[in-house]
Structure 1
């Protein structure tokens, strides 16, 4: 036996973790939820839908009828691709965004988050690059990190991401030998900024990515939640189904508890996604699918969706009014026309400190903007959600945010 010192290794099962386990880190959004439940805290953190608009007695009756009439069937194992009635309904929903989809292109998933995981698993090797908006959806960063994929950000402005900047980034990465596998975007009522990619930019983004052979991964959880349905923009998928993989979700338009979403992709891609999904979940919940078909396919769904959109519109207006009233000089924010979020760019010269904890000290839960970037940059921005708070709570929460930011200005002045 060698007389040298033995290599120090952690004891127990931790020593056997895969290298990728280093990338499994708590979501900063989930972390703030625990604090948001404390008495006296106003939460502007979570992008939760308002399920109070749903006809709960109707849903109870539908569920009871499904179980009473077809209990043995819906409580049994199901198809890995999803039930045919639901894939047909998904095609109808996608048609609202201008897409022509067929059931052989639809893979039902356990929420769109699972869809994001499946696409990343299928397309990306460790060390590959995904080009994404900066900032981007926090949950996407967790997925990309877990597969050891590098995220390269391209900034967004009030019109969304610049397609020419995306093209330049892909070309620059390839010049130095990097492999770009996907361009990830939330084009409509973007999470976290609330901005919407304009139609000319949509067409150009799909074009430049198709020219470079890089699939666009379109995350469209909010597309049916516009404040003005008359001005709905075409989905990226509708512009070029061969160049775009589309993620959809029932979480925001029905219920997040169902854990139900879908992927639309070329049939050969969809088939591989099904195999990947079956390896993890076997199949999506049959009961959830049947309830979605019954409710979203009924006369009750559209009025409830309209009620939800009207409620979000009023809450967004309340947040815009409160921001105008309470924000200190130097703060700028987006003005969304749908979805759940607005984004604040703060005074870069102020001493912001740890924004999440400073917010809690002032009685408000919020998401620091730095959490929405892969590079761990300091937070000089905030995501505020208006979907789940009342108008009075929004006004009070924004007042507290303004107080917190003024404290930062004073702290800077005192240095």
Structure 2
């Protein structure tokens, strides 16, 4: 055993913490627990039969290519098909603007690696996706949060914060945002708010990291233009992924940016994993090419829409009147707000006793706020288990409210 291991560790690893969500998932492996904790897709929707056929075909006809090392930038066919999908949306990019990553989490990590020095400042929404915050903190970033309203990150507070930091001699490295079905709140930014944030970024020479893992999972309303499309000054780094709309086990994501920025991300990826596995990239490419991806996406959207509608119906039926929530137009999550005197971290143990689990909202606040909130996932469980889980959670919440208001 190594003596005084702590003295040998890097400052980076000392600053890292285990993912609270992953640790919660460990606690909820008991079969009697109904878990709303993970952002897990429904495994019954994985296109296993079609994937078996495509995988076999790729092995038989392209095995030498698919089983070999690939380029850092990614499979040429997959990049071409992804670029074509963006071009159909009116987004003017070329293959030189897109790199395949090992899921969007790697895109977050590579962006942090490229831009963050210890002590640098990053601006994020308050609350924000835990995986992004962890990636930024692992490189020594200081986080500055901007409150959200019903339209997402408040652009007025963003500008105030940028000016405040400038007066202290601090220039943030980038703004991190999830404009579509934000994790954890489910809020979607309207186009006018996206333009306001881009205007602030242009005025103060800031980069925007636009994270879009849920964009294709829309149930209602009109799709908003991406910030990538709205931007005219090439300051957007756009991240996408197949994890929520195809199969998470393939770990396929991508980053889109200007050639200048993307070149640095390529260099960072070469030092990280050389390349994303070529086999799953080529399978994904052939799956898209055969029209199977869009066919399966329609199935996923319809299934999740039904789950979300039923979930909200059950919340209305079983939750006490003191609990409120946001009704998102898509995505995988519902964000609950409880009375301010309820701490959902403390409530968690009561919930486990009722055999139901969730993620306490404070997990998504780097500053410890949001203690009366929680995030619930509706995509993973069946309709029946979602309803039973909401009943159990409502029971736990009612018990906590009664105990606190004696």
TM-score (norm 2): 0.96
Alpha-carbon shift at residue 92 of structure 1 (Å)? 2.4
Partner of 2:71: 79
The answer as to 2:33 corresponding to 1:31 is no
Q: Offset of 1:317 from its aligned partner? A: 0.7
Superposed CA offset, 1:22-81 (max 9, x none) = 221111110111122202111111111224224321210110111111212211111111
Q: CA deviation at 1:378?
A: 6.1
Distance in 2 (CA, whole Å) between partners of 1:202 and 1:180 is 19
Q: Which runs of 5+ in 1 are unaligned?
A: 1-9
Distance 1:367 1:154 in 2: 21
Q: Deviations over 1:274-294 (max 9, x none)?
A: 111010101111101101101
Q: For the residues of structure 2 that align with 1:141 and 1:224, how far apart are their CA atoms?
A: 23
Aligned counterpart in structure 1 of residue 164 of structure 2, from 168, 172, 195: 172
Q: Which residue pairs with 2:290 in the alignment?
A: 298
Match of 1:238 in 2: 229
**Structure 1 vs Structure 2 CA RMSD:** 1.6
Structure 2 vs 1, CA of residues 140 and 288 (structure 1 numbering), >3 Å: closer, same or farther? same
Tell me the alpha carbon deviations over residues 126-182 of structure 1, each in whole angstroms, 9 at most, x when there is no partner. Answer: 111111111100101110110110111111122111112111111111111223111
Work out the CA distance in 2 between the residues paired with 1:15 and 1:93.
50
Distance 2:67 2:362 in 1: 43
Listed as ranges, the matches of 1:40-59 within 5 Å are: 40-59=32-51
Superposed CA deviations along residues 387-409 of structure 1, whole A, max 9, x for unmatched, are 11111111111111111111111
Q: Decide whether the 8 Å contact of 2:46 with 2:247 is kept in 1.
A: no
Paired position in structure 2 for 1:316? 308
Task: Tell me what 1:366 maps to.
Answer: 358
Distance in 1 between residues matched to 2:345 and 2:134, nearest whole Å: 24
2:108 pairs with 1:116:
yes
Q: Which stretch of structure 1 is more off in the superposition, 184-193 or 29-38?
A: 29-38
1:352: how far off? 4.7
Question: Does the aligned pair in 2 maintain the 1:98–1:235 contact within 8 Å?
Answer: no
Gaps of 5+ in 2: none
- The equivalences for 1:144-293 within 5 A come to 144-228=136-220, 231-240=222-231, 242-293=234-285
Equivalent-residue separation in structure 2 for 1:397 and 1:334 (angstroms): 18
Q: Distance in 2 between matches of 1:63 and 1:100?
A: 31
Is 1:325 paired with 2:317? yes
Please give the alpha-carbon distance, in whole angstroms, between the structure 2 residues aligned to 1:377 and 1:24. Answer: 20
Give the match's secondary structure for 1:280.
coil
Distance in 2 (alpha carbons) for counterparts of 1:233 and 1:400? 36
